[in-house]
A and B are shown apart, each in its own frame.
Chain A
Amino acid sequence: MVANFFDTIGWAVLGFVEYLGNVAILAGASLRSLVTQRPRWKETVYQIYSIGAKSAPVVLLTGAFMGMVFAAQTYFQFHKVQMDTSTGPAVSIALARELGPIISSLMVAGRVGAAMAAEIGTMRVTEQLDALRSLAVHPVDYLVVPRLIAMVLSLPLLTAMSIFTGIVCAYFVAIEVLGIDGAYFISNMQKYTEANDVYTGLIKVFIFAFIIVFISCYKGLQCEGGAEGVGKATTEAVVNSSIAILITNFFATMLLSKIIPP
């Protein structure tokens, strides 16, 4: 009984380490391809449109409502201690450092990560990956690298737009709905929000971009078993990317707080 328990734990740990190793191998192959192979601009531009432009509405919408609700909740608490005008900096710092990067990355992981795993997974189960290989084209060069470049360029921009929209919407809720003095809201925000707050958030999404692409593409490339396998790969890509983003966020925050003190 006890031996079985440790057996199960042992296999689970081995499986997890193997999974991490395989994702790391894909990451290594992708970065090597990025440096040594010619870029595929046409596919990259299409992926920028697909990942960046098509994700913009959903990321901006979540950014806007996140800013509004965070302004309202912050005001409700700060009002109790007569700190209404501190709502501005609280909202802007939280959006720039944590909420903007995390919510944008999770939204993109859900929308784009799922699409990546489903598309590549379908290609795998319908022999299209083998067809690529038979035509002397490496799937990493053709499928992973353009998505990686597009994600690394798009996600920081989407996050910056999300933060900006969140702050603008928070301003309108704070001033027009909650009655905070606009001049103080702006001046306090400017006084306490620094460029480093934005840099911290953008550095984190840069890391999240790699996580989303490598996990989602890996799940697609390893997909097996027809439609059921594609569904499983898609779900796992979103769940694993989201968990990896949240875990990495904690460690990145702690590390960046040493390098760029808040």
Chain B
Amino acid sequence: MIEVAHLHKSFKGTPVLKGVDLTIRDSERLVIIGGSGCGKSVLLRHIGGLLQPDSGEVKIDGQEITKLGERELNPIRKKIGVLFQGAALFDSLDVFHNVAFSLLEDRSHSPKEIDERVRETLELVGMSGQEKKKPAELSGGMRKRVGLARAIISRPKIMLYDEPTTGLDPQIADSINRLILKLSKNFNTTSIVVTHDMVSAYMIGNRIAMLHEGKILVSGSPDEIQKNANPIVRDFIHGVSRESDLQALEK
């Protein structure tokens, strides 16, 4: 279980998170939606132990992680897989070594075992036969798949997805969404997906939470979110421009 309590974070004096409270149950697929720059990725990074809050708590399976040092966080990080927005593949390594990275670092696996696990994981994400390619030779969708393979190869209990479909065409975005669902079901992982793509949100999530002005505004099942009467939620999920943006355009 993941518990986020009273989380506050500012950057250069600008508050981004203003007291986020959120609980994510085991095996849940939570989608966090919200406008650009509202702090979705910042919240995700706090859960992954990649950022330290100004105040507040993040507990993973009951363990408070915000006070832990970089090396003390490593055992927690081994439970968590992260798919970054741009996939963040290591440029200097080929696909095989990117995917095998955590197993090679672990040093407790034989070369044969690593080889098998990499092939099996690449097959799972539909990237078989691409082992020798460098990240620069891959398309956006392929990079996301390899990034996903790298994140899941050590079978993490929790998966964090930062904008998994941003920048992809609708067909590839759909295949990535299906892949996230498949992985979540196959490995029974807790998944937290940050996105502003409502098609993805409805498809992946069994719960959707909306972050607005640094706080969780609403949280509920996809059906509940679709029926929500709050105008902020309604405008966001239907892609209606904000009044202030329209006025600025008219000026």
**Residues in chain A within 8 A of chain B (CB atoms):** 122-123, 126-128, 130-138
| Min CB–CB distance B212 → chain A (angstroms) | 25
Give the CA-CA distance A130 to B78 in the complex, in Å.
14
**Nearest CB on B from A149, distance (A):** 18
B101 at the interface (CB under 8 A from A): yes
User: Do B105 and A137 have beta carbons less than 8 Å apart?
Assistant: yes
Cross-chain contact of B88 among A127, A136, A137, A138 (Cβ < 8 A): A127
Task: Assess whether B82 is in contact with A134, with CB atoms less than 8 Å apart.
Answer: yes
A-B contact pairs, 27 of them (CB 8 A): A122-B91, A123-B90, A126-B88, A127-B84, A128-B89, A130-B45, A130-B84, A131-B88, A131-B89, A131-B90, A131-B150, A132-B90, A133-B50, A133-B70, A133-B77, A134-B48, A134-B80, A134-B81, A134-B151, A135-B101, A136-B73, A136-B74, A136-B77, A136-B105, A138-B70, A138-B71, A138-B74
A134 to B77, CA, bound (A): 6
When C-beta atoms are compared, the residue in chain A nearest to B154 turns out to be A135
Minimal beta-carbon separation of A176 from chain B (angstroms) = 46
List B contacts of A136 (CB < 8 A): 73-75, 77-78, 102, 105
Interface string of B98-120 (1 = CB under 8 A from A): 00011001000000000000000
Give 12 A-B pairs besides A128-B90, A135-B77 with Cβ atoms closer than 8 angstroms: A123-B91, A126-B86, A126-B88, A127-B86, A127-B88, A130-B88, A131-B89, A133-B77, A134-B82, A136-B75, A137-B105, A138-B74
Query: Residues of B within 8 Å of A, CB-based: how many?
Result: 26
Question: Digit string of B137-151 for contact with A (CB within 8 Å is 1, else 0)?
Answer: 000000000000011
Residues facing A in B35-84 (CB within 8 A) are 45, 48-50, 70-71, 73-75, 77-78, 80-82, 84
Q: State A96–B123 Cα separation when bound (angstroms).
A: 59
In the assembly, what is the distance between CA of A132 and CA of B102, in Å?
9
| Residue numbers in B under 8 Å from A126 (CB-CB) | 86, 88, 91
Cα-based distance from A123 to B135 in the complex (angstroms): 13
Contacts of B88 in A (CB 8 A): 126-128, 130-131
Chain B contacts to A: CB under 8 angstroms: 45, 48-50, 70-71, 73-75, 77-78, 80-82, 84-86, 88-91, 101-102, 105, 150-151
Give Cα A136 to B48, complex, Å. 11
Is A128 in contact with B74, judged by CB distance below 8 angstroms?
no
Residues of chain B with a CB closer than 8 A to A123's CB: 90-91
Question: Who on chain A is nearest to B48 by CB?
Answer: A134
CA distance A117 to B101 in the complex (A): 23
Q: Report yes or no: A134 in contact with B74, Cβ–Cβ below 8 A.
A: no
Chain A residues near B90: list those with CB within 8 A.
Answer: 123, 128, 131-132
Residues A134 and B91 in contact, CB atoms below 8 Å apart = no
Question: Which of B70, B78, B80, B85 contacts A127 (CB under 8 A)?
Answer: B85
Determine the chain A residues whose CB is within 8 A of the CB of B151 once the complex forms: 134
Least distance between A134 CB and chain B CB atoms (Å): 4
With contacts A133-B70, A136-B78 known, is A128 near B105, CB below 8 A? no
Q: Which residues of chain A come closer than 8 Å to B89, judged between CB atoms?
A: 128, 131
Instruction: Return B176 CB to nearest CB of chain A, in Å.
Output: 18
CA–CA, A131 to B98, complex, Å? 11
